[in-house]
Amino acid sequence: MMRRSVEAWREAGPQLDAIRRRKIREADNLQVLAVSIDVSLGGLPFEESMVSRATLFPFGPGLDVRTCSAEDLVVLKLFASRPLDLRAAEGR
């Protein structure tokens, strides 16, 4: 499963770059648009069940990204326990 995930991200790279370039061209000002993502490879039992609950989000033309549920994201934030993540989990 991990090998397939890595291969899927590798294949999506050119599509993500094309979308990023198009979005930058479409910007009316000099703002640079960037997208940050966190990737989980599903190594722990919780991560495996989180992936099974994930849903597809239409990120761009022909590109859907599998995202975790809001509840699972809160669990991940609490598990990371960084100040930024704890504030996010608290809704601040």
Instruction: Please tell me the total count of domains within the chain.
Output: 1
- CB atoms under 10 Å from CB of 83, counted, come to 7
> pLDDT by residue (tens digit) across 21-79?
665 555 544 455 566 777 777 678 888 898 889 999 888 788 888 889 999 999 989 98
The answer to whether 78 touches 66, Cβ cutoff 8 Å, is: no
pLDDT for the residue 83:
92
pLDDT for the residue 22:
62
One-letter amino acid at 62 equals G
Q: What domain range includes position 36?
A: 2-89
Encode 17-36: b = buried (16+ Cβ within 10 Å), e = exposed.
eebeeeeeeeeeeeeeeeee
